[in-house]
C-alpha cells in the first residue's frame, strides 16, 4: 500500500513539473455548464412538488371522516294537537344536544381521480420542459466563449510563427550588415516589428484569460492556464429540428387534454357510501328525551347541476388554448427554419472564403520567400520584407478567423436544430 502511495505521489509530482494539463472539449463544457447552472436545482423542487400533489390526489380514494357536534335551544317544539286517552306522551325538550361522526366513501371519485393524477403528471412535465428550454440557451453562451478561446489560441500560434519569420529576417539582415550591403537601421526596423508582435500576443493572452475566467464560472470549475481546449470536428449540417421547445409544445397539448377530461368530470353525479354514528338527546326517536346512541348508513347522491352552465365555455377556453399552442409551434418552426437557412448560407460562405484563403496564403508565401532572399542579397529593404511578411500574416490571420467562424456556424447550426 505504501509503495502504491509513493508511485502516486511521484506521478503527481511529474505531472505538475512537466506542465501536463487537463483538456476540455466543447461538449463537456456545455454539459458541465448546464449541470452547474443554478436553475438546474429547480428539477428537484418540481419533482418534490409533484410527489406532494400526487399524494394529495391519492387521498381522494380514501374515506372522508368528519366529526360534528351541536347544542341548540328551540322556542317551540313539536307537540300533538290532541290527547290520546290512556297514553300520556312526555313533552319534547326545548334543548337538544348531538354529537356524531360520519364516514363517506366516494364512489364516483374512484373512477375520476385518475384524471386528476394525469393532469398533475402533465403539468409537471410542462414545467420540466420549460426548464429544459431555459437551460438549452446556455449552450449558445458556452459556444461563444469556447470559440473565442480557440480563436485567440490560433491567432497567438500564428503570431509565434510570425516572430520566427521576423527573427529570420533579422539574422539575414545582420549578415548583410556584416558584409556592408545593409544599414544598421534595417535591423532596427525588424526589431521594432518584433516588439510590436509581442504586444499583440500579450493583448490576445489577456483576452483569452477573460474568456477562460467566464467559462470557468459557467462550468463551475477552475481552469488552469495550461488547459488545452480541443478543436471540435467539422459537423455536417442536419436540418431535422429536435429542439426542447417542440417537446414543450407537445406536453402543453397533453396537459390541456387532461384539463378537458376534468371539466367533463364536473358534470357527473357524485355517488358515495356513508355511515353516521353518534349520540343525541334526543336521538333518532324524537319522542324520547333521553340521550341515546344511533347510526345511519346508506347511499348518497349529489349533483351540481350548475356545472352545466359553464361547461361549454370552459371547453371553448381550452380549445383556444390549444390553438394558441399550435400557433406558437408554427411560429417557432417558421423562425427556426429561417435561421437554419441563414446558417446554411453562412456555412457555405465560410467554406468558399477558406478555399480562397488557401490560394492567397500560398501566393503570399512565395512572395515572402523571394523577398527574404532579396533581403539577404541586399536587393530588398527591411521595409520591403516587412510588407510581404505582414501581408502573409494577415492572410493567415484571416484564414484562422474564417476557420473558427466556420466551426462556430456549424455548431450554431447544431444548437438551432437541437441535434
pLDDT value at position 11? Answer: 43
pLDDT value at position 363? Answer: 92
Q: How many C-beta neighbours within 10 Å does residue 343 have? A: 19
Q: How many C-beta neighbours within 10 Å does residue 287 have? A: 11
> How do residues 30-57 score in pLDDT, each as one tens digit?
888 888 777 666 556 556 665 655 566 5
Q: What is the pTM of this model?
A: 0.70
Strands 292-302 and 270-281: antiparallel
pLDDT value at position 352? Answer: 93
Confirm if 396 and 389 have CB atoms less than 8 A apart: no
Residue 220 falls in which region: left (phi positive, over 0), alpha (psi -120 to 50) or beta: left
Q: What are phi and psi of 254, to 5 degrees?
A: -65, -35
Q: Which fold has domain 22-63+109-269+310-417?
A: Outer membrane efflux proteins (OEP) (1.20.1600)
Residues in the chain where the model's pLDDT stays below 70: 1-21, 39-61, 80-89, 182
3-state secondary structure of 105: strand
Amino acid at each position: 500500500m505504501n509503495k502504491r502511495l509513493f508511485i502516486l505521489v511521484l506521478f503527481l509530482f511529474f505531472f505538475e513539473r512537466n506542465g501536463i494539463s487537463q483538456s476540455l472539449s466543447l461538449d463537456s463544457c456545455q454539459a458541465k455548464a448546464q449541470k452547474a447552472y443554478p436553475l438546474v436545482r429547480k428539477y428537484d423542487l418540481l419533482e418534490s412538488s409533484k410527489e406532494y400533489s400526487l399524494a394529495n390526489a391519492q387521498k381522494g380514494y380514501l374515506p372522508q371522516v368528519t366529526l360534528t357536534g351541536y347544542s341548540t335551544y328551540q322556542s317551540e317544539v313539536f307537540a300533538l294537537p290532541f290527547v290520546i286517552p290512556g297514553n300520556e306522551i312526555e313533552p319534547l325538550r326545548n334543548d337538544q344536544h348531538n354529537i356524531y361522526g360520519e364516514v363517506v366513501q366516494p364512489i364516483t371519485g374512484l373512477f375520476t381521480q385518475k384524471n386528476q393524477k394525469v393532469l398533475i403528471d402533465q403539468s409537471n412535465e410542462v414545467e420540466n420542459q420549460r426548464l429544459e428550454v431555459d437551460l438549452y440557451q446556455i449552450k449558445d453562451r458556452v459556444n461563444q466563449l469556447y470559440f473565442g478561446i480557440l480563436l485567440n489560441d490560433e491567432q497567438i500560434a500564428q503570431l509565434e510563427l510570425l516572430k520566427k519569420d521576423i527573427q529570420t529576417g533579422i539574422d539575414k539582415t545582420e549578415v548583410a550588415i556584416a558584409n556592408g550591403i545593409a544599414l544598421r537601421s534595417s535591423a532596427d526596423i525588424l526589431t521594432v516589428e518584433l516588439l510590436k508582435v509581442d504586444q499583440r500576443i500579450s493583448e490576445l493572452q489577456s483576452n483569452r484569460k477573460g474568456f477562460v475566467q467566464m467559462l470557468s464560472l459557467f462550468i463551475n470549475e477552475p481552469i488552469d492556464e495550461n488547459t488545452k481546449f480541443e478543436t471540435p470536428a467539422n459537423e455536417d449540417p442536419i436540418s431535422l429540428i429536435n429542439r426542447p421547445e417542440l417537446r414543450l409544445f407537445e406536453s402543453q397539448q397533453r396537459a390541456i387534454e387532461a384539463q378537458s377530461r376534468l371539466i367533463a368530470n364536473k358534470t357527473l353525479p357524485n355517488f358515495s357510501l356513508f355511515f353516521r354514528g353518534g349520540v343525541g338527546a334526543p336521538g333518532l326517536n324524537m319522542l324520547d328525551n333521553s340521550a341515546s346512541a344511533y347510526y345511519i348508513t346508506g347511499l348518497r347522491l349529489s349533483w351540481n347541476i350548475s356545472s352545466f352552465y359553464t361547461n361549454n365555455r370552459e371547453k371553448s377556453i381550452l380549445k383556444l388554448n390549444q390553438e394558441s399552442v399550435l400557433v406558437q409551434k408554427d411560429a417557432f418552426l417558421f423562425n427556426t427554419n429561417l435561421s437554419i437557412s441563414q446558417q446554411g448560407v453562412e456555412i457555405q460562405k465560410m467554406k468558399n472564403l477558406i478555399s480562397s484563403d488557401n490560394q492567397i496564403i500560398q501566393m503570399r508565401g512565395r512572395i515572402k520567400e523571394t523577398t527574404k532572399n532579396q533581403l539577404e542579397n541586399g536587393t530588398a529593404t527591411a521595409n520591403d520584407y516587412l510588407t510581404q511578411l505582414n501581408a502573409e500574416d494577415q492572410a493567415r490571420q484571416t484564414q484562422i478567423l474564417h476557420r473558427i467562424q466556420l466551426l462556430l456556424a456549424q455548431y450554431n447550426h447544431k444548437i438551432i436544430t437541437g441535434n
